Amino acid sequence: MMKNYIKHWEEEGYGPWALNKKDGTLIGHIGLNKISDLGEVELLYAIEKESWGMGYASEAAAASVSFAFNTLGLEKLIGLIKHDNDRSRRVLEKAGMTYVKEIRWRGMDLFYYELNCKNPRKDG
């Protein structure tokens, strides 16, 4: 997985970051992922179960959205969530994303969320 993330950073100039507590403990990852077969950039994350409900995902998601729009100049982000993952739906909604539709992708039925930037950077 790390090899894929490093390659993604090298090719796209963005990707997932490690998500650590203030004491440096690794609890997951979060960031941006280009999904070539959908032609979209997604906000993705995975956090250890012991750290759920503590605000880490929401805080890191907001930072990722800011980076996507203000630093990279992206115009749109998506989020893909499994139907039974209500916590992740709330994280995306707190980050400003809205539910658009259901899709079937890579053999999974998913909720498709999106967030469009109103003022993308023109120099990025």
pLDDT of 1 reads 76
What does CATH list as the number for 2-116? 3.40.630.30
* Identity of the residue numbered 121: R
- Asked whether 96 and 85 are in contact (CB, 8 A), the reply is no
pLDDT of 124 reads 43
- Asked whether 68 and 35 are in contact (CB, 8 A), the reply is no
d(CA 70, CA 67): 5
- Asked whether 65 and 47 are in contact (CB, 8 A), the reply is no
pLDDT of 122 reads 47
pLDDT of 40 reads 95
pLDDT of 119 reads 52
The structural domains of the chain, with segments of one domain joined by +, span 2-116
- Low-confidence spans in the chain with pLDDT less than 50: 120-124
Residue 29 structure tokens: 């990852």
